[in-house]
Amino acid sequence: MSAIDYNPFSYAFHEDPYPVYKRMRDEAPVYHNQEYGFFALSRFEDIRNAFSDWETFSSASGISLEDTTDYSPDMIITMDPPRQVKIRGLAARSLTPRRVAAMETRIRDLATRLIDRFADAGSADLIQDFAAILPLEVIAALIGVPGEDQPQIRIWTEAMLHREPDSSEVPEKGIAAFRSLDDYFRSDLGRRRSVRGDDLVSGLLDAEVDGEKLTEDEIVGFLFLLAIAGGETTTKLIGNMAFTLTHYPDQKKMLLEDPSQMPNAVVEAARYDTSTQQMRRTTTRDVELHGARIPKGEKVVLVIASGNRDEREYKNPDVFDIRRKVERPLSFGHGVHLCPGAALARMETRITFEEIHRRMPGYEVDLANCVRVHNANVRGFAKLPIHF
């Protein structure tokens, strides 16, 4: 049997990584990629345990295989407790279930307006015409980004995610985008310091942790996280779910007949083909697991998407089933790194498909003309044409 080739930078691999993930789970649950210098955990329990054991599997050196420390601010996903927990708490207080629920009408109105733009055309690009816009507008409203600036932020975030074939480096355009977004947020903070509003940024400027105000770097990192994780991963989740439903017309039919199953369908869609494929950690000590040794100081990839398809946790995991009960989801992290915006992302996705199914139930994805995003951490589409 051939050796397992897990190359998260390969364009060919991005098309369908799941057969490789299965081989890793079965044959090499502690996988070592010598070419790119990392280990990978692919089984559900190992990934979940690593999320919990932040003292051993640290986030402080970054969460992507690429080294972005020279131009990317610290974010709560690139911190360890105790400060990470305290700063994350600020996000959690900003995105409480009550506050998220109160946003539903606003999000549904936005979804309706976006659909109105193409409803009579018979076709659209679900990403460019809808899914790339809706989450960013929601985040922009939270942090007070003017509408005229949103398209540029979207261009920057897309450039930050793009990778060249088989390259473990961030392209020059991506680095430039990191720096441009950083400059934008820092400049905007200068304005906000003198003009407070009822938005998340104003709250962060006034917030204190252990009696101290947040640093500018910490606030900028917070805004980066919202723009990338809060916007892009939700965009990709919406596209992935549409792509999946096209391949599972029986499941789509069930949703059309019984929309009450939509919340569970979104959770299953995030399990089946999650937008966040992996997260990197760095070991702070030697680790022995499954007869293998991971030395201290090594990069370790937690392959979330593989854990979501682990037969040890799920029956028939390669089947998309909207009735499945996903009791311990990994798609939005776990433990201290559970995504504080998970409920918002699920609601945005649910509303999206409730409105699309109501307005254009016969939609189909043009599978031959979909264009993927190429990134080791994020799986999804840059373009997803639909016809209806």
Q: What are the CB-based long-range contacts (under 8 Å, 24+) for 214-220?
A: 214/87, 214/90, 216/186, 216/189, 217/73, 217/74, 218/73, 218/74, 218/87, 219/185, 219/189, 220/73, 220/182, 220/185, 220/186, 220/189
Cα–Cα distance measured from residue 366 to residue 236, given in angstroms and rounded to the nearest whole number: 16
- φ, ψ for residue 213, nearest 5 deg: -70, 150
Q: Is 41 helix (H, G, I), strand (E, B) or coil?
A: strand
Cα–Cα distance measured from residue 54 to residue 281, given in angstroms and rounded to the nearest whole number: 9
Q: Vertex 341, ends 181 and 178: CA angle to 5°?
A: 15
Question: Comparing C-alpha atoms, which of 226, 238, 227, 68 is closest to residue 154?
Answer: 227
Cα–Cα distance measured from residue 13 to residue 376, given in angstroms and rounded to the nearest whole number: 10
What six digits make up the tokens of 69? 């420390």
Q: Which domains does the chain have, with CATH numbers?
A: 11-387 (1.10.630.10)
What separation in angstroms does the CA of 88 have from each of 83, 91, 225? 8, 5, 11
Question: Comparing C-alpha atoms, which of 62, 65, 66 is closest to residue 75?
Answer: 62
Question: Comparing C-alpha atoms, which of 167, 265, 279, 192 is closest to residue 233?
Answer: 279
What separation in angstroms does the CA of 388 have from each of 91, 243, 359? 39, 14, 10
What separation in angstroms does the CA of 48 have from each of 11, 81, 303? 27, 17, 10
pLDDT in tens, the chain (388 residues): 789 999 999 999 999 999 999 999 999 999 999 999 999 999 999 999 999 999 999 999 999 999 888 888 888 899 999 989 888 887 777 788 888 899 999 999 999 999 999 999 999 999 999 999 999 999 988 888 888 999 999 899 989 989 999 888 999 999 999 999 999 999 988 888 887 777 778 888 888 888 888 889 989 988 888 888 778 899 999 999 999 999 999 999 999 999 999 999 999 999 999 999 999 999 999 999 999 999 999 999 999 999 999 999 999 999 999 999 999 999 999 999 998 889 999 999 999 999 999 999 999 999 999 999 999 999 999 999 999 9
What's residue 132's pLDDT?
Answer: 94
Cα–Cα distance measured from residue 185 to residue 321, given in angstroms and rounded to the nearest whole number: 41
* Peptide bond connecting 82 to the previous residue in cis, omega within 30 degrees of 0: yes
- φ, ψ for residue 302, nearest 5 deg: -90, 105
Residues in contact with 60: Cβ distance below 8 Å, sequence separation at least 6, in sequence order: 78, 79, 80, 282
